[in-house]
Amino acid sequence: MTIAPVLVIGAGPVGLTLANELARRNAPVRIVDKADSIREVSKALILHVRTQEALLRLGVLPEVQREARPLREVSVFAYGAKIGSWDLDGVDFH
């Protein structure tokens, strides 16, 4: 069976997940994105339960959890100035 090349538009979480799953199935994949480089700061602060369920089905959740780091503080900025923060070290999330 011949697998047609696939073009994935967008290198966000959905596009990258799709590209990885296609590549795992030996499909030739090319990813294009409008951004000219990767972000220096991640927008991913937490792993939502639904995301963890999807990662579990993909078989990568244990590895992701090993690499995850706890969120220690939340800071809020407005118009370039820090207006508040919350220390999360003492919060029990379980």
Measuring CA to CA, which residue among 76, 14, 10, 2 is closest to residue 45?
76
Mean of pLDDT values over 15-31: 93
Taking the C-alpha atoms of residue 47 and residue 53, their distance in angstroms, rounded to an integer, is 10
* DSSP SS3 for 1: coil
CB 39 within 8 A of CB 13: no
Handedness of CA 78, 46, 71, 92 (dihedral sign): positive
Handedness of CA 44, 93, 49, 78 (dihedral sign): negative
67-92 residue pLDDT tens: 988 888 889 999 999 999 999 888 87
CB 28 within 8 A of CB 2: no
Mean of pLDDT values over 47-58: 89
Task: Give the residue with greater pLDDT, 85 vs 45.
Answer: 85
What pLDDT does residue 18 have?
93
